[in-house]
Amino acid sequence: MEQPPDLVEPVLAWYDVHARDLPWRRPEASPWSVVVSEFMLQQTPVARVLPVHEAWLERWPAPAALAAAPTGEAVRAWGRLGYPRRALRLHAAATAMVEQHGGEVPRDREALLALPGVGDYTAAAVASFAFGQRHVVLDTNVRRVHTRVLGGAEFPGPSVTRAERDRAAALLPADEATAATWSVAVMELGALVCTAADPSCPRCPVAEHCAWLRAGRPPHAGPPRRAQAWAGTDRQCRGRLLGVLRDADGPVHRQRLEAAWDDDVQRERCLAALVADGLAVATSGATYALPG
């Protein structure tokens, strides 16, 4: 599908006025700050990330500082952001930067992609946002904007398709710096205006080009979008157990873990999973702690 003639310019003009002042977007932000933000923002809202990102950069202002710290401290500092395996992956990525890149965040997308815990989206995002390069950056917000404006549907499919990637590539401005700004501007448009639950079409700078709006905003025609359950799930149980370990100064007796979750079978399953994932260690037959 061809790019509407006035799509890029209105989005960039809107972003100039409405972009949020986020620390990892400021001119003085280091590439490491961008890396940390991208790991933290996976499945976590900006408001929850901001204080943790600030504390993290104060404590570990460069990859070498984090790599020198025990993995358990990374898990502890991750706090309640959720999906704590991201803390282990970020620690592993920092270690690889020290061992393979002189303690610096690599500029090359392929080198970024080779880091532990870095997938296609994160590699493209860091290359674009930290180094001003021209890459297709497709997160949930960007995919939703593209799907609505150009595809006429409410939501994209569950995974990125080749057609989506080609369409996004065709939208990229030729100039590297402009392309990098375009990528973050579309992401911001999806986060603030073209939202999943309550899109504000009157505020959209490209509403006149939007195929979904012209079609009367037809509802999603694909499989039902299920809200993630939380209460009573293994995720909640793991989070409760990890919270006990994170808040302790040393090893925790299993009696404290038993008090945190009363379903014996589920608790033991989740505790074993935490150990298997490297998020906890058994320090004796009856005590557990964060990894050293």
Indicate whether 273 belongs to any domain. Answer: yes
pLDDT 10s per residue in the chain (292 long)? 454 457 899 999 999 999 999 999 999 999 999 999 999 999 899 999 999 999 999 999 999 999 999 999 999 999 999 999 999 999 999 999 999 999 999 999 999 999 999 999 999 999 999 999 999 999 999 999 999 999 999 999 999 999 999 999 999 999 999 999 999 999 999 999 999 999 999 999 999 999 999 999 999 887 766 666 778 899 999 999 999 999 998 999 999 999 999 999 999 999 999 999 999 999 988 999 999 8
Indicate whether 194 belongs to any domain. Answer: no
How far is the C-alpha of 266 from the C-alpha of 245, rounded, in Å? Answer: 17
- pLDDT at residue number 122: 97
Of 131, 155, 186, the position where a domain reaches its end is 131
How far is the C-alpha of 157 from the C-alpha of 62, rounded, in Å? Answer: 37
CA-to-CA dists, residue 44 to 38, 41, 269, 281, 286, angstroms: 10, 5, 25, 26, 33
Convert 52-86 to b/e letters by CB count within 10 Å (16 or more is b): bbeebbeebebbbebbebebbbbbbbbbebeebeb
Owner of token pair 């393979």: 100
252: which strand partners? 288
Indicate whether 220 belongs to any domain. Answer: no
What CATH number should be reported for the domain holding residue 109? 1.10.340.30
How far is the C-alpha of 38 from the C-alpha of 120, rounded, in Å? Answer: 12
- pLDDT at residue number 129: 97
- pLDDT at residue number 2: 52
**What's the token pair of residue 197?**
């639950």
**How many other C-beta atoms can be found within 10 angstroms of the C-beta atom of residue 146?**
20
Indicate whether 126 belongs to any domain. Answer: yes
CA-to-CA dists, residue 56 to 66, 90, 116, angstroms: 9, 11, 19
**Residues that are catalytic:** 38
116: which strand partners? none
- pLDDT at residue number 226: 66
Indicate whether 116 belongs to any domain. Answer: yes
- pLDDT at residue number 1: 46
What CATH number should be reported for the domain holding residue 256? 1.10.10
How far is the C-alpha of 289 from the C-alpha of 292, rounded, in Å? Answer: 8
289: which strand partners? 281
Indicate whether 197 belongs to any domain. Answer: no
How far is the C-alpha of 46 from the C-alpha of 195, rounded, in Å? Answer: 14
- pLDDT at residue number 221: 81
Domain of residue 251, residue span = 234-289
Of 79, 99, 131, the position where a domain reaches its end is 131
Of 131, 161, 176, the position where a domain reaches its end is 131
Looking at the structure of the chain, the number of domains it has is 2
